[in-house]
Structure 1
């Protein structure tokens, strides 16, 4: 095989591979297929034993590098709720309508230390609710006298995932169907010296919050099976 012919074959193969990659490139955003996500109206201000505290008495931890956060996420929501015993829960939700590799989420174990907190522990677990089980990550953070246990979970489309491998597999499943998934990071935390009590209260809060949502909105948060799956 002469050099010219071999180069021609390589060129044809490269063009074919490029064309296949372009054909398989997802173009349809899940976010454009259903009702628009509006976190402010999706999440009730009052539910169960909890009501939003209008004058926040605690400072919430927010992700740094605002320009990057605005690029990653389409919407963010930050609220403080308290129950009838004045126990406070901080809720933060970040939503992005494009969760491909180029748009990576900003995880609490990154943003807390970036603001001076020490990361005491990190573990995965399951949060039990009346609307199903949710795979969550729990971290324990500390800054001086502030002990802040955190529970969070993440979604791609309508699937909860843990870790980069599960995220990549979920993205691939949507991509093979020509879809670009959206995604959420849902974080609840409380300032509490007793981590076990904090996680118990956070579980109660999440259970009551999910129970107050419409079935469609609940599916976006807890990843239960539904029409959004590829």
Structure 2
């Protein structure tokens, strides 16, 4: 019995502390700041945001068209999701920043020949509404739920695989019919490819 307890303790220690170095490199430089009518400006996170997020690498930029259509792109990459470092869910972070979540629904998406599910949220604050697409990307592909992300972490830990992952979030102001704005739909479809190219995860 004591040997089993010791082994269980060692295994728990291994799952919590032993890290597998991820392969590949982050290259946010492949994400363009201009494409078609869209032009972007990189935004720096505040010191407080950086300390709360605890991501290893981030990308944040606002893109606009001449007609003032606007989209925010945010990526947070974590080299590990084990002790002391984990991906923060927008479901928790946004309300903590004063945003009200009006609705969340699963939305099917297709990238080249693959289909997956992402989250579509409607949020508002101070009379303004926004549409938010978000999902997680790990070595096993796309994940649309926080519970799924935890199971993915356990699976990779048990298999001795890297536990790195990323939160991908795309936000646009929501007006009358704006969710169907073809400019925004074009942007999301085009920039998902750029985003995936920048990450050493499944493409």
Same fold judged by TM-score > 0.5? yes
Deviates most, 164-173 or 115-124: 164-173
The corresponding residue for 2:141 is 159
Deviation, 1:83, is 3.0
The corresponding residue for 1:143 is 125
Q: How does 1:173-212 map to 2 (within 5 A)?
A: 173-194=155-176, 197=179, 201-212=183-194
Which of 52, 60, 63 in structure 2 is aligned with 1:68?
52
Deviation, 1:23, is 6.3
How far apart are the structure 1 equivalents of 2:149 and 2:191?
Answer: 25
Which string of whole-angstrom CA distances, capped at 9 and with x for unpartnered residues, describes residues 132-154 of structure 1? 33421111111123111111111
What is the Cα-based RMSD across aligned positions, in Å? 3.2
Give the number of equivalent residue pairs.
Answer: 202
Which of 22, 26, 35 in structure 2 is aligned with 1:37?
26
The corresponding residue for 1:47 is 35
Which string of whole-angstrom CA distances, capped at 9 and with x for unpartnered residues, describes residues 185-210 of structure 1? 11111112236526765432121113
Deviation, 1:216, is 4.8
More strand as a share of residues: 2
Runs of 5+ in structure 2 lacking a partner?
none
Which string of whole-angstrom CA distances, capped at 9 and with x for unpartnered residues, describes residues 152-198 of structure 1? 11112351112233213322332233123211111111112236526
SS at match of 2:173: coil
Larger Rg: 1
TM-score under structure 2 length normalisation: 0.80
Which string of whole-angstrom CA distances, capped at 9 and with x for unpartnered residues, describes residues 28-59 of structure 1? 122xx22x2133x13221234422147x8xxx
TM-score under structure 1 length normalisation: 0.72
Runs of 5+ in structure 1 lacking a partner?
1-9, 225-230
How far apart are the structure 2 equivalents of 1:155 and 1:11?
Answer: 40
Q: Is residue 2:201 matched to residue 1:217?
A: no
How far apart are the structure 1 equivalents of 2:92 and 2:187?
Answer: 24
Runs of 4+ residues over 6 Å off in structure 1 = 60-64
Deviates most, 83-92 or 13-22: 13-22
Deviates most, 155-164 or 118-127: 155-164
